[in-house]
């Protein structure tokens, strides 16, 4: 992977959230802005945790392509996933914060279900056998790290 692709993936994944933080959140101190700040912080944290290791491995020579889409680099695909999830975290936190504040728990339920669904579909897209393993885990109640 070249340095140009490395920095391009880095900016795709993190620059919208950082720009949103510096342009909107740091200049306003209203009540809803707190929800946006929490969403931005959790989105950036999610991006660093989930995408940081992929980006770190991308420093070496070569490139990695997804079997599902052999024309798109896995590093760029992961950067787009990190970007989308950081923006989703902002939207989820605004909706949940508004739901808690107005005691509209339907909004909170929608946030919880959509968060679970989005996380599950991303995980299923990255690892094809996750769907079968997850359902088996829910039914049996065991896990990979269970000590017997």
Q: Considering the domain boundaries, does residue 62 fall inside one?
A: yes
Average pLDDT, rounded, for the chain: 76
Res 146: pLDDT: 46
Domain annotation covers residue 85: yes
Q: Answer yes or no: pTM beyond 0.85.
A: no
Q: Residue 120 falls within a domain, yes or no?
A: no
pLDDT per residue as tens digits for the range 2-57: 777 778 888 888 887 778 777 776 666 676 678 888 888 888 888 888 888 777 77
| Residue 67 in domain | yes
Helices and strands in the chain: count of H runs, count of E runs: 5, 0
Question: What is the mean pLDDT of the segment spanning 120-133?
Answer: 60
Number of domains into which the chain is organized: 1
Quote the pLDDT of residue 147.
Answer: 44
- For residue 126, give the 3-state DSSP assignment: helix
Q: Which residue range forms the structural domain that includes residue 10? A: 3-104
Whether the Cβ atoms of residue 28 and residue 36 lie closer than 8 Å to each other:
no
The verdict on residue 113 lying in a domain is: no
On whether residue 115 sits in a domain, the answer given is no
Q: At what angle do helices 31-57 and 74-102 cross, to 10 degrees?
A: 160
**How distant is the alpha carbon of residue 107 from its chain centre?**
20
Q: Is 97 within a domain?
A: yes
pLDDT at 31: 60
Q: First CA to last CA across the chain, in angstroms?
A: 42
Describe the crossing of helices 105-126 and 130-140 by its angle, rounded to 10 degrees.
120
């Amino acid at each position: 992977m070249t340095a140009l692709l490395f920095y391009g993936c880095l900016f795709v994944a993190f620059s919208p959230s950082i720009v949103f933080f510096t342009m909107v959140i740091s200049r306003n101190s209203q009540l809803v802005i707190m929800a946006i700040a929490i969403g931005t912080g959790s989105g950036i944290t999610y991006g660093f945790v989930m995408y940081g290791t992929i980006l770190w491995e991308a420093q070496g020579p070569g490139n990695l392509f997804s079997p599902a889409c052999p024309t798109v680099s896995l590093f760029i695909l992961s950067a787009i996933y990190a970007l989308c999830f950081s923006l989703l975290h902002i939207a989820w936190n605004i909706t949940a914060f508004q739901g808690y504040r107005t005691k509209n728990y339907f909004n909170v339920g929608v946030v919880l279900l959509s968060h679970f669904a989005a996380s599950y579909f991303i995980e299923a897209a990255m690892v094809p056998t996750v769907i079968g393993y997850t359902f088996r885990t829910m039914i049996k109640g065991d896990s990979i790290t269970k000590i017997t």
